[in-house]
A and B are shown apart, each in its own frame.
Chain A
Amino acid sequence: MSFECHEPSSVTDAVALGARFGEEGRFLAGGTDLIIQMRRGKVGPRHVMSLHRVSGLDRIEADGAVRLGALVTHRTIERCPAFQGPLQALVESAAVVGGHQIRNVATVGGNIVNASPAADVVPVLLALDATVTCLGPDGERTLTLDGFLTGPGQTARRPGELLTSVRFDQLPPGSATAFVKAGRRKAMEISVVCVAVRLTLDAAHARCQEARIALGAVAPTTLRARAAERALEGQPLTDEVLRRAGRLAAGECGPIDDVRASARYRRLLVETLVPRALRRSLERIGRAA
């Protein structure tokens, strides 16, 4: 590792530095991905722009739409009172990122820009139809998170652009979310598979009005299981329907074999965990009602 370190003190300074160094620069938030990748020789930026002095990006606003500043840590998400209800999946996902030491510094912005297909908070945001806002020398751009994630470690971020926030709408009544994760250990696990779901039921709570299913670690990016979502929408959510969604999701993902698990097992997990997360969401809607 050999680089110049910069410590911008404002968003404006950070953006200016980003523009100046372009491909040769990297922003540093918690560093829990970047420092390790640098040490393993996977990336070698000449300039590291640490964001620790930049203020204003570490806040959660949840009055109307929810806005998470890019520097919000997993620890802050875990403890955010606004996420104790229908948005609980955010807490569930943030609470299983590494251990306390990681969550105390690692950020939601880093989780997104790092674009690991196994990221835990990203699928929840995807299930919430989140958008991300980037700021560059040419101004601000807002993209859908789905469009932002383009491949493993790859995003639509332009060189030097700063991710400033991620945003999604509050959920309508009759909604809930859930997040489940499988790994070899019960803590400190990179997901072998993770699943985030959001359900909104119709006013009578008889049928599914809207469904989102996002899958981690089973494709080059975090993946929406759209066929499975369609199979839920407009349906009464019987166990058979939920299970069918699991089978469909297993069919539409594209996992690989690696040292953590085989593709076969990952599909089996998707088939199991999708209905499990859906059931959990349904229970939550039921309890809230």
Chain B
Amino acid sequence: MSTGPRVVGQRLPRLDAPGKVTGTAVYAADFALPGMLHGKVLRSREAHARLLGVDAARARTLPGVRAVITAADVPDVRYGGALKDETVFARDKVRYVGQPVAAVAATTREAAEAALAAIDVAYEPLPAVFDVEAALAPGAPLIHEAWPTYTAIPILHREGNVCNRARIVAGDVERGFVEADRVFEHRFRTGMVHQGYTEPRAAVAVWDTSGQVTVWSNTQLPFEIQNTLAEILALPPSKIRVIVPGIGGGFGGKLRVGVEHFAALLARRAGRPVKIVTTCEEELTAAYPRQSTRVELKTGVTRDGRITAKAGRIWFDTGAFAGSGPGVASVATLVLAGPYRIPNLLIEGYAVYTNKTNCGSFRAPSGPQANFAVESQMDMIADALGLDPLDFRLKNIVREGDEGPTGQVLTAVGLEECLRRAAAAIGWADRRPTADRGKGLACGWWTTTGGSSGVYVKLNPDGTVALNTGAAEIGTAALTGAAQVLAEDLGVDLADISVVSADTFATPFDFGAQGSRTAFAVGNACRAAAADLRRQLCALAAAQWGVAAETLTVRDKHVVGDGKRIALVELARLSQASGGGLIAHGTFIAPPTAYDAKRVEAHVYPAFHSPSFHAHAVDLSVDRETGEVTLHRYVVAQDVGFAMNPTYIEGQIEGGVAQGLGQALSEEIVYEGGRVLNPNLTDYKMPTTLDLPRVESILVEHPSPVGPYGAKGVGEPPNIEPPAAVANAVAAAVGVRVTTLPITAEKVALALSGEATP
């Protein structure tokens, strides 16, 4: 046997690629059933209003209409995550433009649209709040008057329009400021942005005569949808089967119930399958985008550049419902503290209700917003102290064995290597190579989300192996990575593995494709299952040969030992003839990360598991007259622990950077008076081929003691640093410091012309 892994770590093509390049892969938006109806959702036109009446009588009589449902037709349930404040349809009042008020199913999309137009809704407008400042002002209207009565996890700190305030306190921040030679205070803002997956959210639901519903949906979390539907439909989960066909991107936007519940409710009412696909306008007005934020940072530093204290606050505009807000506000505090040694900290994250769409999770939730503030300020401080921004960071970064902000002990810390290699690759020594050209750096840290994963692994009659996992393949190639682990550990080729995934009836539980955890956790479950299957294979061979199983090993598609070998295909035949075939089960749950509970309050996410570290560097030019930014090169050095498949890790890096650069430069959902001004892709501006530079990926490997072969989560981090890196490079190029996202050409040009402060 060769030394070192044969399959895992190799640049092998992903298993699902052929179906995707030939158009035969079926996505949820492609899925159809005979007799299927088309559903549409009627959405509020008012941002905050009493709902005086919803009259659907006329709509019910229109040709082709098979079902119309309103709040009166569905169970009166409040559901949600950490805080249960949502209802299927608005009841009593509407809280944002876009909130569902009714839904219809008809034989064609056009008939469904005509039915929506025939529903009369009477509103009585109420005073509304459109940003965090207004929501927190004394006497501000309450978005949820009955907030104290809502069910919530007990640790949340709630008050009026604040649905959580998470806090980290370490050391004595005031004393830290006294010890500082200089104290810097800065404010930042970031805009609301959409995940921008190319496939809209889609679901098809059908009920059978036993009262069981099957939903095909492009969710990232089938088991979460199963539970939420159980709550909404008031049914046991065993009556709800959720299956994920292909998914055209998720990035956190497809974690929570979006259209599945409407499809299920309409299908039950109509007695026929119902399909719902969101429109682009619905996506940009009523999905789960990234929260806009305000940030205040106060940092104390000694003359020689040591950080003595940091006080930081970040406010998330979570929209009309809590959604992931309470959790995101918690995670944010760890990002706001940053990967730095800071003895004295007071960091707070607030999730605040407003009359806007309910925000959610977007790849590294809170990461880009908080990191933009932290890493911009690092450069601002370095400039003020006359220090090189790289040196200033190197003086303060965490290293092996240090404590994180909440007291977790950090191991496998590859940050210094990431910073040095990113800086070297971008040519840091020459930070301002020519007029109006500059380079910027930013670094950060992130978590590998926990949660459990189970897999079944089955030996096929031909000696190949079926991997059965509850996780969905959302495009990251995480399941190809997990299959590589399995192939490695079973001594077979990647091509010998086939994957069945994401069916709440047919596959084992999985916490889902979220939080950079899929390849990590499913990969570890595969390792456990492979060990189990190897044991079974050896036992079977041992019984044949009459030797002790312990003397045998599995390698090269055979069980070998005692001078003999037997092929897996032969063992498969034997097992089917004698014992119902071989199935192995593997599970994984990330061990808890110890932290100092005294340092946190109302905190949903007090430590980063198997944290990853990363540094980004960008080289760009600014057109002084128009403010236009042109990106020349981009470098990412990311500590991935172990690169399970370098090709797809690069893919995660290149794609994450692309999204990050969109947030940095061009993307924003713009609200005015509670309405989105740009609910289409004409004016919601995601980067095109011509907007993006080449990205050079440097894969740093400081193995996680817990990850499969040492891997850490890789999917989310690349999205975190681009805004800060760009802001720092723009400042280096033309001396303008933009403290709000996106950094549009307009902001840069007006600042350069002296007409505005950015």
Contact = CB atoms under 8 A, between A and B. Distances in A.
Determine direct contact between A and B, CB below 8 Å: yes
Nearest to A190: B682
A260 interface: yes
Interface in B710-747: 744-746
B688 A188 contact: yes
A188 B690 CA distance: 10
A187 B687 CA distance: 9
Among B625, B630, B677, B744, the one with the most A-chain Cβ atoms within 10 Å of its Cβ is: B625
A184 B628 CA distance: 8
Among A187, A258, A264, A268, the one with the most B-chain Cβ atoms within 10 Å of its Cβ is: A268
A272 B624 CA distance: 10
A185 B691 contact: yes
B259 to A, nearest CB: 20
A187 B691 contact: yes
B688 A260 contact: no
Nearest to A189: B685
Given A259-B683, A268-B755, A269-B626, A187 B688 contact: yes
A261 B677 contact: no
A260 B677 CA distance: 10
B691 A265 contact: no
Given A264-B750, A265-B750, A184 B690 contact: no
Nearest to B670: A259
Contacts of A260: 683
A91 B690 CA distance: 19
A265 B670 contact: no
B43 to A, nearest CB: 15
A82 interface: no
A271 to B, nearest CB: 9
Given A184-B745, A259-B683, A272-B625, A264 B678 contact: no
A188 B666 CA distance: 13
A2 to B, nearest CB: 8
A259 B667 CA distance: 12
B109 to A, nearest CB: 11
B749 interface: yes
Contacts of B744: 184
B22 interface: no
A121 interface: no
Interface in A268-283: 268-269, 272-273, 276
A186 interface: yes
A99 B682 CA distance: 12
Contacts of B749: 265, 268-269
Nearest to B681: A188
B753 interface: yes
Given A182-B628, A184-B745, A268 B753 contact: yes
Nearest to B677: A259
B515 to A, nearest CB: 30
A262 interface: yes
A185 B666 contact: yes
A273 B626 CA distance: 8
B746 A262 contact: yes
Contacts of A187: 688-691
B691 A186 contact: yes
Contacts of A261: 746
Interface in B656-692: 665-666, 670, 677-678, 682-683, 685, 687-691
A186 B753 contact: no
Contacts of A268: 749-750, 753, 755
Interface in A164-193: 182, 184-188, 190
Nearest to A269: B626
- List the 7 closest pairs (A to B, CB-CB), nearest first: A272-B625, A259-B677, A186-B690, A187-B690, A265-B746, A187-B688, A184-B666
14 contacts: A184-B665, A184-B685, A184-B745, A186-B688, A186-B691, A187-B688, A187-B689, A190-B682, A258-B677, A259-B670, A260-B683, A261-B746, A262-B746, A264-B755
Given A185-B685, A264-B755, 8 more contacts: A99-B688, A182-B626, A185-B666, A185-B687, A185-B688, A186-B688, A187-B689, A268-B749
Interface of B: 110, 625-626, 628, 630, 665-666, 670, 677-678, 682-683, 685, 687-691, 744-746, 749-750, 753, 755
Interface of A: 2, 99, 182, 184-188, 190, 258-262, 264-265, 268-269, 272-273, 276
